[in-house]
Structure formats: structure tokens, C-alpha cells
């Protein structure tokens, strides 16, 4: 009988109170809590990473526009939209003006500048903006991928 009682008590003695469904106690480290104001390189309420600027609306979606470049100006591209993802289909068949900022990534046979885009180039443009029911969205390009127009083809839109 003594052996049976010892065998039943042994698993309870070796059980770890920290594992399971809340049976253990929560312990906190002892000692003073470090003050972020006195930690070198840290400020009291500043996050460890810079905050990204995003539109002040939710949800923010990606518009993907496909079409041809009509004209290229200083900081803008006018394109005729022929296709797009579900969010961008409201622009199909229209000429839209896209703002191009310094952070816009432009590619045309490798990294390129806005001045290297030509009228008639095939474009795929990514725009991040507020989800909108109509075509009332500010179009600031995040990325532009351009391909040269096929030889002998002019701008093809009505």
C-alpha cells in the first residue's frame, strides 16, 4: 500500500506548474524595470521604426492599371487604360492622369527615369489608394513597368 501511494504521488511531484491550461503562476523578473528615457539610443515614447505615410482611409487597396502611355509630362503620365485588376476596372477605356513622385519605381529595360518613357509604350502601373466606389481616387503611382511599343504601331485608342 505504501508503494502504491508513493507511485501516485511521484508524478504530481515532478509536474511542472508552468505548462498546461493556466495552472501555473505567472512570475515577473525581480529588480528595477529599465527606464526607456535613460536607455542609450532610445526615447521615451518613440517607436523603434519610422512610421510609414499612408492614406487616411481604410481599406487601402492596390490598383493595377494596364494600357498605353498617351503623353509624359513633368511629374505626370497620361495613360489610356485598357485593363486592370478588380479595383481598377472602373478606369477601363478612359485616359487617366497619374502623378509620379520621387519614390515611384520606374522600370523600362531596367531601372529608368520618367523622361525615358515614351508615348505609345505599354504600361503596367501600380497605384495604392483608398478603396473607392467610383473613379474618384487620387492616382499616385507606386510603380511603373514600361515596354516599348511594337515597331510600326502608333498610340491605339479612340
For every one of its 158 residues, what pLDDT tens digit does the chain have, with 9 covering 90 and above? 555 555 555 555 555 555 666 555 555 555 555 555 554 554 556 556 565 555 567 788 899 999 999 999 999 999 999 999 998 888 999 999 999 999 999 999 999 999 999 999 999 999 988 887 666 677 889 999 999 988 765 555 55
Report the alpha-carbon distance of residue 149 to residue 120 in Å, rounded. 6
The residue whose grid cell reads 511599343 is 149
Domain boundaries, the chain: 60-147
The alpha carbon of residue 98 and the mean position of all alpha carbons in its chain are separated, in whole angstroms, by 19
Of 65, 89, 83, 156, the closest CA to residue 119 belongs to 156
pTM summary value: 0.60
Of 32, 129, 118, the closest CA to residue 79 belongs to 118
Considering the domain 60-147 in this protein, what is its CATH number?
A: 2.40.50.320
Amino acid at each position: 500500500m505504501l508503494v502504491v501511494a508513493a507511485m501516485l504521488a511521484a508524478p504530481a511531484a515532478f509536474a511542472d506548474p508552468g505548462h498546461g491550461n493556466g495552472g501555473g503562476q505567472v512570475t515577473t523578473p525581480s529588480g528595477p524595470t529599465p527606464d526607456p528615457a535613460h536607455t542609450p539610443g532610445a526615447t521615451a515614447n518613440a517607436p523603434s521604426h519610422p512610421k510609414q505615410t499612408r492614406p487616411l482611409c481604410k481599406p487601402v487597396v492596390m490598383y493595377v492599371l494596364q494600357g498605353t502611355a498617351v503623353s509624359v509630362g513633368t511629374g505626370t503620365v497620361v495613360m489610356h487604360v485598357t485593363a486592370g485588376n478588380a479595383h481598377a476596372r472602373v478606369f477601363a477605356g478612359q485616359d487617366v492622369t497619374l502623378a509620379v513622385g520621387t519614390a515611384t519605381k520606374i522600370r523600362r529595360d531596367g531601372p529608368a527615369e520618367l523622361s525615358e518613357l515614351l508615348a505609345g509604350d505599354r504600361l503596367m502601373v501600380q497605384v495604392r489608394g483608398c478603396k473607392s466606389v467610383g473613379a474618384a481616387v487620387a492616382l499616385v503611382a507606386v510603380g511603373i513597368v514600361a515596354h516599348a511599343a511594337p515597331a510600326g504601331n502608333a498610340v491605339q485608342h479612340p
